[in-house]
């Protein structure tokens, strides 16, 4: 591999430039991280830059890429379906992030008490986290299958009209969000639990002496004191929604037909699914790379906004 050799010389170059500043400990440090650096340069930075190059070219995998300048990007922004996918992605994020954060915090607070069988409860909420999406698909199908599902059975018993659930263009994203929250909440809960355990108990005791009730304590002590954790959770969940793929793929068509993922009328088509479909099903890698870079820029801007806003509400001790 020519690339690896090149990567080696690059690392050496960097080392040489820094030599003056480094003492022997520093050199050893660099040697120790060299394997990681090589890996990073070849497999992370290398692929990143390659995809940036592809995004400016026409590339069908089978033939070498042809430079086409901004064509992929102009096409992208003029494509109705791209805007639909972007809209769906944002819709998913706007529902998912607050819902998961709030419920996970409430759950974590509840499970931070001294309860009988506490570990069992925590375990129960963490179980969906370790299940694969394919397993969750079968569980959710037991609920939302239009012919045999419990949900329609319930509606039927209530004398209501059956619904098409995941096949309904208006219901599909809210439902996916609910299922995603159910699956992901245990993980976020654990992060919150760690945060909660760092809140000193004397603050609560002082508040109790001042006559604060449970709700006051929660709003005026817990919430501000774990705002650093909340910030982390919000940033992580936002990123994960933009990268959401597996769930939407298996639950809205992909498990049956790879090109059909994206739900009824593309109503659950998010950017990642769109990217996959264009790149891997239709061999338009250049175009798919452009989608990836737009996604990256979007996430980058969003994260900067979140970091800027954090000054207003996040308190570090």
Partner 1 sequence: MKHLAFKRGALILAVLMLSSILLSACSGSTKKEEGEVSPGDKKQEQVELRLGYYSSAQTDAKMQELVKKFQDSHPNIKVKTESAPYGQFFQKLDTQIAAGNAPDVWLSDGVLVPKYAERGALKDLTDLIGKDLKHDDYYGLDFNKDVNGKYWGVPQGIQIGVLYYNKDLFDAAKVAYPTTDWTWDDLKAAAEKLTLDTNGKYATDAAFDGKKVKQYGLTFFSITEGWMPVLKSFGGGVLDPTLQKSIINSPENKKALDWIVDGMNRHLLPTPADLKSFQSNMAPFPSKAAAMRIGIYARTMDANNAGLNYDVTLLPKGPDGKRFSPVIANSWVINKKAENQIGDAAWEWVKFWATTDEAQKEWASLGEAVPVKKSVANSDQFLNGKPANKKAFLDSFDFAGTLDVNAVWSEWVGKFNDSINRAFQGEIPVDQALSTADKDVQQVLDEFYKKK
* Residue among 37 and 239 whose Cβ is closer to partner 1: 37
* Residue among 148 and 215 whose Cβ is closer to partner 1: 148
* Residue among 28 and 313 whose Cβ is closer to partner 1: 28
* Residue among 174 and 264 whose Cβ is closer to partner 1: 264
Smallest separation, CB 97 to partner 1 (Å): 28
> How far does Cα 69 stand from its chain's mean position?
31
Smallest separation, CB 146 to partner 1 (Å): 4
Angle between helices 71-78 and 285-313 (to 10 degrees): 70
- Written as six digits, the tokens of 121 are 């409860």
* Residue among 3 and 303 whose Cβ is closer to partner 1: 3
Burial environment of residue 79 by CB neighbours within 10 A (0 to 12, 13 to 18, 19 or more): middle
Smallest separation, CB 46 to partner 1 (Å): 6
* Residue among 203 and 246 whose Cβ is closer to partner 1: 246
Where do the H-state alpha helices sit in 243-314?
246-251, 271-276, 285-313
- Written as six digits, the tokens of 148 are 């045999």
Specify whether the CB–CB gap between 247 and 176 falls below 8 A. yes
Angle at 97 (CA atoms; ends 278, 182), nearest 5 degrees: 90
Q: Distance (Å, rounded) from C-alpha 237 to C-alpha 235?
A: 6
Kindly list the residues in this chain that would bind partner 1 in the complex (CB under 8 A).
2-3, 6-7, 10, 13-14, 17-18, 41, 45-46, 49-50, 53, 58, 60-64, 145-148, 161-162, 164, 166-168, 253, 256-260, 264-266, 277, 280-283
CB burial of 17-37 (b: ≥16 within 10 Å; e: otherwise) equals eeeeeeeeeeeeebeeeeeeb
């Amino acid at each position: 591999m020519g690339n690896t050799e090149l990567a080696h010389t690059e690392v050496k170059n960097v080392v040489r430039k820094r030599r003056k500043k480094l003492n022997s400990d520093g050199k050893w440090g660099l040697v120790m991280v060299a394997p990681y650096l090589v890996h990073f340069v070849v497999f992370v930075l290398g692929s990143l830059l390659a995809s940036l190059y592809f995004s400016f070219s026409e590339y069908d995998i089978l033939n070498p890429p042809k430079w086409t300048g901004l064509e992929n990007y102009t096409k992208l922004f003029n494509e109705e379906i791209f805007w639909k996918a972007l809209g769906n992605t944002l819709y998913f994020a706007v529902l998912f992030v607050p819902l998961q954060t709030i419920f996970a915090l409430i759950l974590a607070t509840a499970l931070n008490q001294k309860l009988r069988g506490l570990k069992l409860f925590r375990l129960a909420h963490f179980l969906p986290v370790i299940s694969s999406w394919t397993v969750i698909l079968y569980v959710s199908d037991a609920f939302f299958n239009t012919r045999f599902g419990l949900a329609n059975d319930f509606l039927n018993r209530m004398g209501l009209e059956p619904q098409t659930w995941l096949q309904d263009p208006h219901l599909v994203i809210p439902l996916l969000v609910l299922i995603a929250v159910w699956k992901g909440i245990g993980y976020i809960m654990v992060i919150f639990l760690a945060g909660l355990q760092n809140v000193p108990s004397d603050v609560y005791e002082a508040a109790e002496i001042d006559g604060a009730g449970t709700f006051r304590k929660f709003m005026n002590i817990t919430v501000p004191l774990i705002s650093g954790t909340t910030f982390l959770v919000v940033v992580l969940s936002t990123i994960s929604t933009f990268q959401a793929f597996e769930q939407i793929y298996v639950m809205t068509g992909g498990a049956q037909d790879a090109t059909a993922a994206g739900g009824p009328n593309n109503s659950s088509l998010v950017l990642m699914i769109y990217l996959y479909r264009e790149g891997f099903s239709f061999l338009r890698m250049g175009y798919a790379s452009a989608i990836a870079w737009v996604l990256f820029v979007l996430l980058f801007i969003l994260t900067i906004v979140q970091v800027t806003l954090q000054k207003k509400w996040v308190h570090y001790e």
